[in-house]
Amino acid sequence: MKSSTALLIIDMMNTLDFDGGKDLLEYALPAAEDLQGFKQEMKEQGIPVIYVNDNFGLWQDNASDIIDTCRKSRGEPLVELTQPEEDDFFIIKPKHSGFFGTQLEILLNQLDVSRLILSGVAGDICVLFTANDAYMRDYEL
C-alpha cells in the first residue's frame, strides 16, 4: 500500500548533551513511548517512516555510528525506545532543518509524499525549522 503521507522522526537519536538535556529526558521518555506506538500504527497503514537526525559534527560517520554515539550518552534510554528499524529511512542533517543540506526532498519526491507528520522533542528548534521549510515547499503538515 502506497501512501502520500510520511512520518518524520526528528532528532530522537540524541545525546541530550546540552544544558537542560537531563530535564528534557524526563519528559522525552513518555513522548518516545507514545511515538513508538504511533510509528507502528503508521507502518501498518503503509506510511513510510523517515528519521531525520543531527550529525553531531560527525562528518565521516553514518547512521549506525550516530546511533551508537547516542547510545553511549545520556540519551541512551531515548535511543533504546525509538531507534530505527531496518525498513525505516535515515537522513543525516548538518543543521536545524531536515531539508537544509540533505537528500530529504529527493526521497520525499521518490516516495510521492505530499503530506508530512512531524515528530520530535526539539519542537522549538529542529521540528519548527523542518516544519517551516516543509511549508515553504508546499507540503501539507
CATH class of residue range 5-136: alpha beta
> What's the whole-model pTM score?
0.93
Residue boundaries of the structural domains of the chain: 5-136
Which tens digits make up the pLDDT trace of 86-100? 999 999 999 999 999
Backbone φ, ψ for residue 127 (5° rounding): -65, -45
Q: For the residues 62-83, what does the mean pLDDT come to?
A: 93
**pLDDT above 90 (res 3):** no
Q: How confident is the model at residue 1 (pLDDT cuts 50, 70, 90)?
A: low
| Alpha carbons 108 and 116: distance in angstroms, whole number | 9
| Alpha carbons 52 and 136: distance in angstroms, whole number | 18
| Alpha carbons 50 and 27: distance in angstroms, whole number | 22
pLDDT number for residue 44: 96
b/e map of 100-118 (b: 16 or more CB within 10 Å)?
eebebbebbeebebeebeb
Q: How confident is the model at residue 67 (pLDDT cuts 50, 70, 90)?
A: very high
